[in-house]
């Protein structure tokens, strides 16, 4: 991927995502789904999409710390936040939103958590960034942009205001 995709104005990317999502939802006959963002970056992206789509239900927020598959190795995430789904999920069409789709493990955990709240009619996955490196059969239906990164690189969404993407080499992390 070229450098300019990184510097793409995120507002433009979000507008494009919202448009794609809108078309997709109306084509499916589910124009007013419930939306759930995954803490923390996913919530920021979800807030932006939620506004643009004008959804009637309030935004749900999920912290997947209790469902991570690496808990027994690295322990509890130090800043776990409460999950709040201010609606029943049974028979609802859900748009699940995250900032970066990489291995797919976060989405696996989020799906497990959602199913502990009930049985949704469908789940659509929307992500701001997808990068290569999937370890599970999980793909996004709507992706803002695709990034090709080396395994030693990390992409992170900083925010909430303004939102900006940051690519760093993992070795440089403290």
Q: Least distance in Å: CB of 110 to another protein?
A: 13
Q: Is 57 in the site for another protein (CB under 8 A)?
A: no
The reply on whether position 40 binds another protein by CB under 8 A is: no
> What radius of gyration do the chain's Cα atoms show?
16
Contact flag: residue 136 with another protein (CB under 8 A): no
Question: Is the Cβ–Cβ distance between 143 and 129 less than 8 Å?
Answer: yes
**Structure tokens, 48:** 């932006």
**85: its two tokens:** 């789904």
- Site for another protein contains 135 (CB under 8 A): no
Q: Is 83 in the site for another protein (CB under 8 A)?
A: yes
- Report, in Å, the least distance between residue 35 CB and another protein: 17
Question: Binding of another protein at residue 152 (CB under 8 A)?
Answer: no
Is residue 79 a contact point for another protein (CB under 8 A)? yes
104 binds another protein (CB under 8 A): no
Binding site for another protein (CB under 8 A): 63, 65-67, 70-76, 78-85, 112-113, 115-118
């Amino acid at each position: 991927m070229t450098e300019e995709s990184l510097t793409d104005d995120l507002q433009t990317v979000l507008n494009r995502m919202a448009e794609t999502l809108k078309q997709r939802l109306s084509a499916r006959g589910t124009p007013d789904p419930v939306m759930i963002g995954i803490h923390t970056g996913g919530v920021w992206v979800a807030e932006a999409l939620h506004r643009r789509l004008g959804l009637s239900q309030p935004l749900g927020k999920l912290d997947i710390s209790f469902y991570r598959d690496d808990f027994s190795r690295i322990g509890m995430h130090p800043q776990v936040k409460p999950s709040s789904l201010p609606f029943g999920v049974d028979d609802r069409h859900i748009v699940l939103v995250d900032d970066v789709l990489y291995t797919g493990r976060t989405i696996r955990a989020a799906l497990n958590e959602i199913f502990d709240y009930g049985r949704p009619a469908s789940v659509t996955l929307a992500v701001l960034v997808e990068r290569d490196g999937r370890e599970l059969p999980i793909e996004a239906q709507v992706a803002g942009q695709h990034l090709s990164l080396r395994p030693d690189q990390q992409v992170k969404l900083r925010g909430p205001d303004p939102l900006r993407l940051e690519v760093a080499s993992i070795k440089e992390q403290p």
